[in-house]
Amino acid sequence: QQPVQSPQAVILREGEDAVINCSSSKALYSVHWYRQKHGEAPVFLMILLKGGEQKGHEKISASFNEKKQQSSLYLTASQLSYSGTYFCGTGSRSGSARQLTFGSGTQLTVLP
Amino acid sequence: NAGVTQTPKFRVLKTGQSMTLLCAQDMNHEYMYWYRQDPGMGLRLIHYSVGEGTTAKGEVPDGYNVSRLKKQNFLLGLESAAPSQTSVYFCATTGSSYNEQFFGPGTRLTVL
């Protein structure tokens, strides 16, 4: 089942902060975050694994609440280059297929 | 290194025609995926492969077939195209224990 992202869209001024949430009805092993600019491919931002392990870019932070099956992506001091659509992808530990189920995205617009 | 490439970039088909999309990677990754992306729907998994000679169905496999005869290539076929298959198709690969996926540039397919 597809994870639910909120908000669907957000508009910021440069320097402002934003939080994007991802919630699943299934038990999760991992949460992935990707950013996609218009007409381009999604680009990896961060992975959060059950147990607290993380891998991602230095300027991006995120949290993963395993019990609540939720993750949040924190964008601080936003820059114009942060504009794009943010997707979370959730993974469960069923089999070894390393499949992800993606949310429908959060459109972030950063204005000067 | 080219990373993940997709051929063709754009294609227009008439209903009932067939075509094959090619995904090629030079990252020596075991796992390869085909997604489709429709407006407001995020990324949906069509088929995937966990290694050379293997394929499996994803979330929306109907109307598509795949083959993975060589480790570096993953083909997506449409035997009889329908207007509902108008979409942007992305190929992705992963091989690391963190499962971050690397996406190709996409193929924009229109079925008239």
Question: Could you read off the pLDDT of B19-39 as tens digits, one per residue?
Answer: 999 999 999 999 999 999 998
Mean pLDDT of A59-74: 89
Chain B: give the shortest CA distance to residue A66, in Å: 17
Residue B69 burial by Cβ neighbours in a 10 Å radius (0-12, 13-18, 19+): exposed
Mean pLDDT of B30-50: 93
Residues of chain A in contact with residue B104, where contact means CB-CB under 8 angstroms, are 41
Identify the CA nearest to B5 among candidates B78, B105, B83, B101: B105
CA distance A67 to B60: 29
For residue A54, the model assigns a pLDDT of 77
Please answer yes or no on whether A100 and B45 come within 8 Å at the CB atom.
Answer: yes
Mean pLDDT of B79-88: 96
> For residue B105, what is the enclosing H or E element?
none
Residue B87: pLDDT band (50, 70, 90) is very high
Report CA-CA distances (Å) from B22 to A30, A50, A84, A105, B70: 29, 34, 27, 26, 12
Q: List own/partner pairs for B37-43 with CB under 8 A and 24 or more apart.
A: B37/B87, B37/B88, B37/B89, B37/B90, B37/B106, B38/B87, B38/B88, B40/A104, B40/A105, B41/A104, B42/A2, B42/A87, B42/A102, B42/A103, B42/A104, B42/A105, B43/A42, B43/A87, B43/A89, B43/A102, B43/B90
* Residues linked to residue A49 through DSSP beta bridges, in sequence order: A30
For residue B46, the model assigns a pLDDT of 96
Q: What 3-state class would DSSP assign to B88?
A: strand
**Residue A6 CA to chain centroid, in angstroms?**
10
Smallest Cβ–Cβ distance between A87 and the set B31, B40, B43 belongs to B43
Q: What percent of chain A has pLDDT over 70?
A: 95
Closest residue in B to A8 (Cα) is B40
Number of other residues whose CB lies within 10 A of the CB of residue A102: 24
Mean pLDDT of B94-106: 84
Smallest Cβ–Cβ distance between B90 and the set A2, A32, A41 belongs to A41
Assess whether pLDDT exceeds 70 at residue A96. Answer: no
Closest residue in B to A53 (Cα) is B98
For residue B97, the model assigns a pLDDT of 60
For residue B84, the model assigns a pLDDT of 96
Q: Report chain A residues touching chain B, CB-CB < 8 A.
A: 2, 30, 32, 34, 40-44, 47, 49, 55, 87, 89, 91, 96-105
More confident residue, B98 or A36: A36
Give the number of beta-carbon pairs within 8 Å between A and B: 60
For residue B96, the model assigns a pLDDT of 66
CA distance B21 to A86: 26
Please answer yes or no on whether B99 and A47 come within 8 Å at the CB atom.
Answer: yes
More confident residue, A52 or B96: A52
Please answer yes or no on whether B98 and A49 come within 8 Å at the CB atom.
Answer: yes
Residue A99: pLDDT band (50, 70, 90) is confident
Number of other residues whose CB lies within 10 A of the CB of residue B75: 18
Closest residue in B to A100 (Cα) is B45
